[in-house]
Structure 1
Amino acid sequence: MDNINKNLYSTVGLNIKKIRKVRKLGQEELANMISLSRSSVSNIESGKHQPSLSVIYELAAALDCELHELLPSVKTFNTFKSLIEDKYLNVITSKYSNMSNESLNFLKEILQDDEK
């Protein structure tokens, strides 16, 4: 799983946990509402499991919230994306500081393509 997806699913999990606690629901109770195991809910909340879109919809319904309350905002997504891109550029520039800008950008593109 690439870093962007990992961060996105972690954010979804944290949002689920936050709303579940506001609703005063335990993991077991939420799991029973959508026919999942308690450990599955725990893994989703901790970002260890990537729930399908249909499970995210079921979670939103069970938590009586809108889908957008569970998903990261576009601003958050763009922040994750730019941090990952900056990480590549920082690694490249620190290791290959004597290379031209054109060469540095070429290496950055290769690293990004490699993650797809």
Structure 2
Amino acid sequence: MDNSLDDEIKEIGISIKKFRSIRKLTQSALSEKVGLSLEQIQKIEQGRGSTKIKTLFFISKALEIKPEQLFSSNNENMNLILDRYQHLSKSGQETLINIAGEIFKLESTFKGGIKKDE
């Protein structure tokens, strides 16, 4: 594989790990949800080898995200948030994870658009 493709595969693995952490899932829990072995999940997150597109769809469904979100870890805002996250205290990290979890819940509630009061 050429280096740029290797880098992209690693970025997908980083995205999976990021979203798995936000969802407070262990690698083992994700492997059960997706129907893969723990070793396969570890390999994917580390960017080793190649992964079927179908598998990425199963992973994105288990993480409750759109598949394309696995390919967008280069997003500047997300990188800024992750950088800030690493410098937070343990309680600050937990607070940020809880906030992100609530945002994901709200996003899934409004998938069909903003609901109007009746």
Q: TM-score range by the shorter chain?
A: 0.5 to 0.7
State the shift of 1:74 in Å. 9.0
Give TM-score, length-normalised by structure 1. 0.61
Across the aligned residues of Structure 1 and Structure 2, the Cα RMSD in angstroms comes to 2.0
User: Is 1:20 matched with 2:20?
Assistant: yes
Q: Quick one: structure 1 residues 74 and 25, their matched pair in 2 at CA, closer, same or farther if it must change by over 3 Å?
A: closer
Identity %: 29
Which segments of structure 1 move beyond 6 Å, counting only runs of 4 or more?
Answer: none
One-letter amino acid of the counterpart of residue 13, structure 1:
G
The aligned amino acid for 1:3 is: N
Look at both structures and tell me which one has the larger radius of gyration over its CA atoms.
Answer: 1
Q: Report Cα offsets for 1:91-116 as digits up to 9, x if no partner.
A: xxxxxxxxxxxxxxxxxxxxxxxxxx
Is residue 40–residue 49 contact of structure 1 (8 Å, CA) maintained in 2?
Answer: no
TM-score by length of 2: 0.60
Equivalenced residues, count: 76
| Structure 2, gaps ≥5 residues long | 76-118
1:15–1:73 CA distance, 2 compared to 1 (3 A): closer
Q: Could you give the per-residue CA deviations for residues 51-104 of structure 1, whole angstroms, max 9, x where no partner exists?
A: 1100000000000001111014799xxxxxxxxxxxxxxxxxxxxxxxxxxxxx
* Structure 1, gaps ≥5 residues long: 76-116
Q: Is the 8 A contact 2:15 2:73 kept in 1?
A: no
C-alpha deviation, 1:38, in angstroms: 0.6
Counterparts of 1:17 and 1:55 in 2: how far apart (Å)? 15
Matched ranges for 1:1-116 at <5 A: 1-72=1-72
- Give the direction of change, closer, same or farther, for the CA distance of 1:25–1:2 in structure 2 (3 Å limit): same
